[in-house]
């Protein structure tokens, strides 16, 4: 199961839609599951940053949109690793302006330093994992 943060944003929504269309197990994290409007094949879950461990039950991978998690990124990644999520892909703020491609696997995604422009951030890792077989 791939856990996707920022699931109702431009990049996250496109990723959730692609994974669901390919019948891949996906857990879409969102602040408001009732209004998310995500595909029926996705497990839509309320994003609770104060309780990240529950979000990763059964997860094998994480797509992390850093802006969706913010300052809680280190704790969020630690919870993913503790739950056994082996692969993380990072998408820095500002990256949604370009077309998602294949992932940059990482085990330590961190938000950009404050004051970093979205233009500089968009030069970071690519934004959408390619589903593994």
Q: Which domains does the chain have, with CATH numbers?
A: 2-121 (3.40.50.720)
Cα gap 125→25, rounded to integer Å? 23
Q: Pick the most confident of 6-20, 46-60, 74-88, 93-107.
A: 6-20
Whole-number pLDDT of residue 85: 81
Q: Is the per-residue pLDDT at 121 higher than 70?
A: no
pTM recorded for the entire structure: 0.70
Q: What is the mean pLDDT of residues 5-25?
A: 93
d(CA 2, CA 23): 12
In this model, does residue 21 exceed pLDDT 50? Answer: yes
Q: What is the pLDDT of residue 78?
A: 87
For the chain, the average pLDDT equals 74
């Amino acid at each position: 199961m791939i856990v996707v943060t920022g699931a109702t944003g431009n990049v996250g929504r496109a990723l959730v839609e692609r994974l669901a269309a390919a019948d891949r197990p996906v857990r879409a994290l969102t602040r408001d599951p009732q209004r998310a409007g995500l595909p029926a094949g996705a497990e839509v879950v309320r994003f609770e940053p104060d309780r990240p461990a529950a979000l990763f039950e059964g997860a094998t991978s994480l797509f992390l949109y850093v802006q969706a998690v913010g300052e809680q990124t280190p704790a969020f990644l630690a919870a993913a690793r503790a739950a056994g999520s082996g692969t993380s892909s990072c998408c820095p703020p500002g990256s949604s302006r370009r077309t998602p491609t294949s992932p940059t696997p990482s085990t330590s995604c961190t938000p950009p330093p404050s004051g970093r422009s979205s233009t500089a951030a968009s030069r970071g890792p690519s934004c959408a994992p390619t589903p593994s077989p």
